[in-house]
Structure 1
Amino acid sequence: MDLSLFNGMVDEKTMGETQRIARVGSWEADLLSESIIWSDLVKEIHEVSLDYQPSFSSPMDFYTHEYQELVMQAMQRTISDGSLFDIEAIIETAKGNKCWIRVSGRAELRDGQCIRIYGAIQDIHDRKLAELGLLESRNRFESLVQTVDGIVWEADVNTLEFSFVSDQSSRILGYPPEEWIKTKNFWQSHIHPDDLEHAIGYCHRQTREGRNHIFDYRMISADGNIVWIKDIVSVIKTDGVPTLLRGVMVDVTETKRFEILEHLERTVLELNSTKEHSLKKMLSQYLLGIEQIYPHMKCSIVGIVDGKLSNLSSPSLPEAYIRALEGLQIGPNAGSCGTAAYLKEKVIVSDIVRDSRWTMYSHLALPHNLRSCWSHPILDSDGSVTATFAIYYDHIKTPDEDELKVIDRAVAILKIILENKKNCEIIISSRSRQKREELKLQEIAYLQSHVVRAPLARLMGVIDLIKNYSHTDIEKNELLDHLLLSAKELDEVIRDISEKTE
């Protein structure tokens, strides 16, 4: 028996079954006779009858519109240069069903001329749908990750080096994901120095114990600003051993700033309720506290006395600049503070060089690298301007929403402090005046009880002598002289008392 023939038959049978399982059929196009041959499986894929005979151009009609040009160009390149093509495309079967196929082909050349194209068509519809479903799921997941209002990240548990960072890193901190991933010790080198030891130590301790953890710390953004981060970290384990860290960094700067601001306000208002602290000390402590929240900000409070500027507290401004502003007259174009006091409204100057309100005063600010200034008037209960609160930056800047909120809150607190100071002065003045009045009354009482009695007693004695005893003319004249002298003395005392009551 010829075993080789048997083996060939088995191989052919096995090949056919394999192709059917793989849903792969053959095709060929004879360019000389312009005929097309499809295998039964190709016909099955196209959902045509087994006796269907395609014309030379009909196969192209099965491809959907968006793929016809692609397949046509691929075949033309193969005919032209003999290259292999392999394309995934969608056909619409004879029964109107859409089906993903993989079509591949190559050319048979004779004397450098293509005489035939042949290849295979595979039904990949189920696999393709699964791939597309997986891709869609992955895209949805990536879209979800990228739209989370925070930085989604993944890092090595030992080195804390990042393997994934979402695009929100650019918006929140100004560093693109690639920089996080390629830079060694990126996280550690961008934590605020005051928080570095605590943040790294806490993360390592919690990770070693395999505990998920949440902690707050500050990072330095690409533009040098401080950003408060709430880091929500999950520890990923393999066989019970931590191998990865995954988490979300949420920007909580606004919340933190106002927590710190509220604490600062409480502290200053408590100081304001006591007599031990001077106004300048309270104001300086408050302004320095605000500057710690916004490190690039320089704050100033200028009082308004008789329509002129008078510095109350400017702890971070140069002394030379403070002296230059002292006594300047307020007006419609008197810088930021002078204009704000004059107009009784907020004045925002984002560029001192170009703003007309600073034309006469920019030479005072620019040598000290003061480039922008926003000023808000502080009005008392009568509507009069008592001071202005100003913010300076060393670069051109317009306030953002957070800074405007801080300005409004600061003005409200400063109004309370200044009003309290004014009321204290009124009370002290009133008490002083009352003390003076009491002293006057005591003096008057003394005059009445002691000084008046002496001339009055003499008068009464002289009158008694004149009335009850006989006297010579000379004696009478002497007594009358005494009487007149005592009367004049009493008159002077009465005048003195009258003056003290005025």
Structure 2
Amino acid sequence: MKLFGYSFSFFNKSQKLFEDLIHPDDKERVLNNFKKFLRGKDYLWSQEFRFLKETGEFAHVLDKGILLRTKDGLPKRFFGAIQDISILKERELQLIKLSQSLDQRANELQEAILRLEDSEKRYRDLFELSPLPMWVYDLETLRFLDVNQAAISSYGYSKEEFLSMTIKDIRPNKDISLLEEKVNVKKEMGGLLFSGIFHHLKKNGDLIEVEISSNRIEYNGLKGVLVLAVDVTLRNQYIEAIEVQNARLKEIAWMQSHVVRAPLARLLGLVNMLKIERIHDPQQSIENFEELFEFIFSSAQELDKVIRQVSEKTERIHLKGKFGLEKEE
């Protein structure tokens, strides 16, 4: 017992002294187990508990012993030894903490995997269910890596056809150099990019205008670009039609304010002259005003012609089909 700071004579005084040195939280368990051991038939004793050292600190100990019994199985003599296992216990606790820490990290990793899978599913749903054409292409080879259903429906190619093509295959030849220039810019930049408005070719040969937005991403270990394409063909046609319409309206407004005014001013002047002549000489015959009537009639015809031109131009301002204006002959 010198290991714990006590002399042998210290424990010879009373067995209770030994029991009182057992940690209060362990004492009841150890004593009850020892009583059961004595009443039983086993002869090997082993128990772990905390034991008070003379320094006032508790040590983790392993108490082991052999019990000699009588022929009737009653306890006769007990030989025991106590081993300080504090270091082993400390390492055991360290291993337990390490195991708990590993379990926590494993749980966190599992949660991260689940969040990643959920995130990938949300991305896949957003990608596939988007009403606008979207695709991913390889930044190095320009090969299509994935396309959504909207792109398939809009461009007319099947998914298998898309995946065997590059993004050059949906561009007219005259735009290839511009495409390569934009791709080189993407290689040097990251993040969300607004690429502008470009011409694309559908499978049936239709040429459309699309507004492209893109973002660099990693796709299955490859440097990819996620593209969103908005068909703005009809929108641009509508804007063009409105601009043409506005130009014609301006022309009509100018005609009304300038061309119509000239013959109208002459008519007003001739009518005024006629009134003055009649006032000065009411007895004049109508033949004396024949020249004035000719001027009036000529000016009226000119005004009528101008009005007809304005009317014809106004009638031509209507949409052809959905948006395109009819051209003037």
Decide: shared fold, TM above 0.5. no
| TM-score normalised by length of structure 2 | 0.41
Higher relative contact order (CA 8 A, sep 6+): 2
Relative to its length, the structure with more helix (as a share) is: 2
